Amino acid sequence: MRFSLDVKAGVAQLRSMANHGVKDSILSVQSDRDIRDRRVKHNGCTPTTAGESARKSRQKMRRLYEGRRYPTGWTSFDDNHLLLPNGAENDAGASSFAPAPV
């Protein structure tokens, strides 16, 4: 993840990209949605409804919220905590579906 800081009156804006499994057993997907929504608002991005992967779909869905200089990206995927494609059981490295940095 790449970060860009713009500090004005004690407020830092960050470019961010988050990936979250809809079956995550470590951080609930709702908690990460809340974090995403706060980041979208804080960065002055245009809020939109983010599609989300359905359980057992083996799909991933990406959304990029545009605005100012600090875009916020969100990817949901049908798996637990790790970004493993198509139900892989170990680190997929280059074949992972995590997008390039924002």
Report pLDDT digits (tens) over 58-96. 777 888 888 777 888 888 888 777 666 555 555 555 555
Rg of the chain's alpha carbons, rounded to an integer?
14
On whether the pTM is more than 0.75, the answer is: no
- Side-chain-side CA neighbours of 66 within 13 Å: the count stands at 0
Phi, psi for 42 (deg, rounded to 5): -60, -35
How would you classify the pairing of strands 72-77 and 60-65?
antiparallel
Query: pLDDT for 37-59, tens place per residue?
Result: 888 888 888 888 767 777 777 77
> The sheet that has 16-21: what strands, in order across it?
16-21, 72-77, 60-65
